[in-house]
Structure 1
Amino acid sequence: MKTLLALIFITGCSCQFKCPDRTGFFPDPVQCDLYYVCSKGEFEEKLCPDGLVFDARDPNHERCDIPANVDCDERTELQEPQPSPGCPRANGYYRHSDPLACDKFFNCVNGVPHELPCPPGLIYDDTSSTCAWADNSKRQDCKKAKRDKLDDGFSCPEEETLGPNGRKLPHPTFAHPEDCSKFYICRNGVMPQKGSCTKGLVYNEETFSCDDPKDVPGCEDFYEKAEKSKTKKA
């Protein structure tokens, strides 16, 4: 009896729908992944693949997309999920099953999870279904991004680094404390990496680039001193 009532209810909902135009693709007023294909004033009911929702912005195009890209507004209902290991729904982007793997996520395609990494320094953000800076994400469990250290102890500073024009540097560089020809690169501001200038040049922390030794205070005689040091050791 319950099954019969459910069928009557569903059929009743479909029958209430009327094509806004004779031809096109139109959303269900209640369910975001349900839509209708209208042809000559007659409609056919369709469902997006599980995990995707109907993009109703253009009635001339049939398009299902991830929820982060679609404004469902009052269409809050969804079909029953079809979960599998690693995938809360059959399709879409989801946080990694390992709660410590903030910098990884799953792209689920037909129930199969494909592990993907975020760029260095970013974490997966559920709200936008993409990678983001920890400070810009609502994920409380990943607010503090791990800052790696190099073998000599260098790690990227937490504060932003501004360039000569006052703009934030996406990959700032920093002088080596002892070697004028070397420097550090912070990829995306957080991932440390060693760098070195071409022989004959030294790092200039004023311009964030390699420069002539005579233009870098304290490094004018760097290469002469290095040669003398080698001679003494020999």
Structure 2
Amino acid sequence: MFTSIVFKILTLSLAFGLVLAQAPNQSFRRKPGRTKNRATTTEKPQPIGDGESSDCPETFGYFADAEQCDKYYACNDGVITEKLCPDGMVFNDYSIDQEKCDLPFNIDCTKRSKLQTPIPSLHCIRQNGYFGHEEKNVCDKFYYCVDGMFNMITCPAGLVFNPKTGICTWPDEAGKKGCSSEEIFQFTCPKVNETEAATHPRYADPEDCQYFYVCINGEIPRRNGCKLGQAFDDATKRCEWARKIPECADWYKDRLTDAQLDELENPKPPPTARVKGVQRRKSSKKPARVEVDEIDE
């Protein structure tokens, strides 16, 4: 039943990223009962306190377990039913009106840290979710698992999988052992004074004319690139056309022809669309027929 829901949640999280975790839960102790026309509230619903409650907090709704993040309760006309999210998902307790299991990255489970026993499969620590590569030195690849079936995904160049957020981020943001910025890029930021460090100084990539490093606060390197046909000018600290930089003039020689470089440097203006004048529609009315009376002589 949850397969299509799980697939949609995982896919949307990967394409657009993830949302901020919700505010932590508070202990629940409310009397049961709910009026038919319950006023709308922005308060977050509270979890059921003892983990094995037989009482519904309200007549209808979905409520988190106070101890286990992937367990929740459905209340239907005051009848409570214990439920469990698919392995790897946790209950989203934002609204009692929605039955929704979500990715752990989106939900704060610090006060409900217990989880069901995992059901691992090939490359999947749990049946659903995003999981890092087994080899510690493989930083830019991770597994996307749905119902125990995996797909391996590679991060864009320069980024690594962040196990804390489930998305690809800069190495320094991921904080993963063996995947530091210096280890990934094989580049160390030169020592500079505080004034220069505050400007996030840039340095040419010694191996690739098209790329350069931005040293965040003068310490943490992040690799950036110029657009096709350009190279980083270490003198001006800007991207310029490669043929204008002596040490990079031939960088694209085996990749692009002179004609292609000319077109990149001097792009043709897009054709201007001709806007035709508004033509008035001809009247479909026939001219009135004028009858002339004959004059008797």
TM-score, with length taken from structure 2: 0.51
Say whether residues 1:78 and 2:115 are aligned partners: yes
2:172 counterpart (110, 130, 135):
135
Partner in structure 2 of residue 107 of structure 1: 144
Unaligned runs of 5+ in 1: 1-12, 162-167, 185-193, 203-208, 213-234
2:158 aligned partner: 121
Q: 1:45: Cα distance to partner?
A: 0.6
Contact 1:182 1:197 (8 Å CA) reproduced: no
RMSD: 3.5
Give structure 2 stretches of 5+ with no counterpart: 1-49, 187-205, 217-221, 232-241, 268-297
Matched ranges for 1:32-51 at <5 A: 32-51=69-88
Structure 1 residues 195 and 141, CA, compared in 2 at 3 Å: closer, same or farther? farther
Structure 1 equivalent of residue 208 of structure 2: 154
Larger radius of gyration, structure 1 or 2?
Answer: 2
Distance 2:59 2:114 in 1: 26
| CA deviation after TM superposition for structure 1 residue 181, in Å | 7.3
> Per-residue deviation at 1:136?
1.4
Greater CA drift, 48-57 or 64-73: 64-73
Partner of 2:184: 145
Q: Please, which of 201, 210, 222 is the counterpart of residue 265 of structure 2?
A: 210
Label 1:140 to 1:14 Cα distance change in 2 as closer, same or farther (>3 A): closer
* Partner in structure 2 of residue 191 of structure 1: none
Which amino acid counterpart does residue 97 of structure 1 have in structure 2? E
Partner Cα separation in structure 2 for residue 41 and residue 197 of structure 1: 76
Query: Normalization by structure 1: what TM-score?
Result: 0.64
Distance 1:196 1:127 in 2: 45
CA displacement at 1:111 relative to structure 2? 1.5
Cα distance change on mapping 1:103 and 1:197 into 2, 3 Å: farther
Question: Are the equivalent residues in 1 in contact too, given 2:213–2:223 (CA < 8 A)?
Answer: no
The 8 Å contact of residues 62 and 74 in structure 2, kept in 1 or not, is answered as: yes
Task: Tell me the distance in 1 between the aligned counterparts of 2:213 and 2:256.
Answer: 20
Q: Quote the Cα distance in structure 1 between the aligned partners of 2:63 and 2:177.
A: 37
Specify whether residues 99 and 197 from structure 1 end up closer, same or farther in structure 2 by C-alpha distance, changes over 3 A only.
Answer: farther
1:120 CA displacement:
1.6
Cα distance in 1 between the residues matched to 2:89 and 2:70: 7
